[in-house]
């Protein structure tokens, strides 16, 4: 189990517990995090679970797959630290990760 910190456009933090192997998208939806809409349910087809991952955790993650990178090109306000939360799995590596929800999704 690990803890993930979601940060909204107002800077408010929501700390949630995640089971190993659970996607950040599933954790956010289960916890009622505003802005992680997840319209496709994690099928890598919509980009509505877009988020920004802060360092140092961004550097600890494997790079996005080609499919994820392509989908990120179509989200509003992409940035170098953009990821799709449906593609990131909870584990001890991401314990304490800070995930910023884009203003455009709130």
Please check whether residue 24 is in contact with residue 51, taking contact to mean a CB–CB distance below 8 angstroms. Answer: yes
Average pLDDT, the chain: 94
* Residue 10 pLDDT: 87
> 106 pLDDT exceeds 80?
no
Whole-model pTM over 0.85? yes
For 2-105, CATH number out of 3.10.20.30, 3.40.1350.10, 3.30.1360.200, 1.10.10.60 equals 3.10.20.30
* Residue 29 pLDDT: 95
Q: Is 15 helix (H, G, I), strand (E, B) or coil?
A: strand
Interval 35-50: pLDDT, tens:
999 999 999 999 999 9
Of the candidates 58, 64, 68, 65, which has an alpha carbon nearest to the alpha carbon of residue 97?
Answer: 58
Report d(CA 58, CA 12) in Å as an integer.
20
Report d(CA 83, CA 62) in Å as an integer.
11
Task: Measure Cα distances from 105 to 2, 75, 76, 84, 87 in Å.
Answer: 25, 10, 8, 13, 18
Interval 43-78: pLDDT, tens:
999 999 999 999 999 999 999 999 999 999 999 999
């Amino acid at each position: 189990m690990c803890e993930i910190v979601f940060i909204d456009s107002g800077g408010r933090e929501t700390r949630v517990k995640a089971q190993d192997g659970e996607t950040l998208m599933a954790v956010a939806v289960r916890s009622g995090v505003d802005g992680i809409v997840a319209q496709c349910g994690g099928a890598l087809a919509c980009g509505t679970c877009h988020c920004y991952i802060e360092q140092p955790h961004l550097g600890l993650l494997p790079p996005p797959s080609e499919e994820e990178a392509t989908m990120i090109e179509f989200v509003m306000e992409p940035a170098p630290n953009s990821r799709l939360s449906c593609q990131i799995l909870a584990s001890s590596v991401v314990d304490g990760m800070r995930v910023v929800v884009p203003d455009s999704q709130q």
